[in-house]
C-alpha cells in the first residue's frame, strides 16, 4: 500500500517514521521537495506526484492550507484521505468551526470524491517518537468516516503503527473529536501537562 503524507512538519515526520517502520511505502508530499527532509526510508516528492500514486493520503498541513493542498494534489478523487487537522484559532486555545460542521466535513466538501476519514487529530506529534505509546500504554486513535472500507483501512494502519483504535462512527463524529483535541491541547499546553498525554475511552469489561 502506498501512503502519501502531504506536509513535512511535525506530524508528517512523526507519522512517516512510524508508518515506514510498520512496513508501509511512505512518501512525503512537499511544496518544496528539493529542501524538505524525511526520515530514513521515506521519499519526498512534489505534492501532485506524491498524491497521484497514493492509495491513502494523510493531510498533515494546517486546516487553513487544506484547500490549496487538495487542489495541488489534483482533487484526491477515489483516495482514502486521512484528516488529522484541527481547525485551531491563532493562539491554539480555540476552534474556528464546530457544532454544526467540522474540519473533516469541510474537507469532504473540498474533495467530494475522496473517502475522508478523521483520525490521529488527538495524537500529539511527540507521541510518534515513543512508537505511539504513553508510557507502556498504546495511545488511542479515534477513527471516524462514512466509507466502511476506508475506515477499516485507516484503523488497520493505526493499529499496525502501534496505536490502540476506537472506531467512532461516521464523519459527523469529527464534530466531537475536534473539541477532544482542543481539550488535549488545553491540558497539554494550558495546564502544563506536556505532550506525552493522549485521550482515551474506558469501558468496564
Ligand atoms: N503538532 C501536533 O502535535 C498535532 C497534533 C494533532 C493534529 N495536528 C494537526 O496536524 C496538522 C499539521 O500540524 P504540524 O504540527 O505538523 O504543523 P507544522 O509542523 O507547522 O507543519 C505544517 C506543514 O504543512 C505544510 N503546508 C503549509 N501550508 C501548505 C500548503 N498550502 N500546501 C502544502 N503544504 C502546506 C508546511 O509546509 P512548509 O514546510 O513548506 O511550510 C509544513 O510541512 C495541523 O492541521 C494540526 O492541527 C498537529
Expressed in angstroms and rounded, the spacing between residue 15 Cα and the centre of ligand 1 is 12
Position in ligand 1 atom list of the atom nearest CA 13: 16
Burial of 190 (0-12, 13-18, 19+ CB in 10 A): exposed
Residue 166: how many other CB atoms lie within 10 Å: 17
Torsion of CA 63, 108, 178, 131, to 10 degrees: -80
Expressed in angstroms and rounded, the spacing between residue 192 Cα and the centre of ligand 1 is 22
pTM over 0.95: yes
Task: Quick: pLDDT tens for 16-73.
Answer: 999 999 999 999 999 999 999 999 999 999 999 999 999 999 999 999 999 999 999 9
d(CA 78, CA 98): 26
Q: In the chain, where are the structural domains located?
A: 2-190
Class of domain 2-190: alpha beta
Instruction: Check pocket membership of 62 for ligand 1, CB cut-off 6 A.
Output: yes
Q: Alpha carbon of 58 to those of 26, 54, 104: distances in Å?
A: 10, 10, 12
Residues 6+ apart with CB under 8 A from 10: 125
Helix (H) or strand (E) holding 108: helix 103-110
Task: Quick: pLDDT tens for 120-142.
Answer: 999 999 999 999 999 999 999 99
Q: Name the closest-CA residue to atom 40, ligand 1.
A: 31
Amino acid at each position: 500500500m502506498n501512503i502519501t503524507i502531504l506536509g513535512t512538519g511535525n506530524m508528517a515526520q512523526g507519522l512517516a517514521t512510524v508508518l515506514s517502520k510498520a512496513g508501509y511505502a511512505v512518501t512525503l508530499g512537499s511544496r518544496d521537495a528539493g529542501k524538505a527532509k524525511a526520515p530514513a526510508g521515506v521519499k519526498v516528492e512534489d505534492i501532485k506526484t506524491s498524491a497521484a500514486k497514493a492509495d491513502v493520503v494523510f493531510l498533515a498541513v494546517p486546516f487553513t492550507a487544506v484547500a490549496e493542498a487538495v487542489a495541488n494534489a489534483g482533487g484526491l478523487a477515489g483516495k482514502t484521505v486521512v484528516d488529522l487537522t484541527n481547525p485551531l484559532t491563532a493562539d491554539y486555545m480555540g476552534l474556528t468551526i464546530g457544532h454544526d460542521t467540522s474540519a473533516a466535513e469541510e474537507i469532504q466538501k473540498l474533495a467530494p470524491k475522496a473517502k475522508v476519514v478523521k483520525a490521529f487529530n488527538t495524537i500529539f506529534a511527540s507521541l510518534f517518537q515513543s512508537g505511539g505509546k504513553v508510557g507502556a500504554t498504546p495511545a488511542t486513535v479515534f477513527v471516524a468516516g462514512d466509507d466502511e472500507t476506508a475506515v477499516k483501512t485507516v484503523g488497520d494502519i493505526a493499529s499496525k503503527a502501534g496505536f490502540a483504535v476506537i472506531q467512532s462512527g461516521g464523519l459527523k463524529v469529527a464534530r466531537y473529536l475536534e473539541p477532544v483535541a482542543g481539550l488535549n491541547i488545553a491540558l497539554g499546553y494550558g495546564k502544563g501537562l506536556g505532550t506525552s498525554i493522549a485521550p482515551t475511552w474506558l469501558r468496564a469489561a
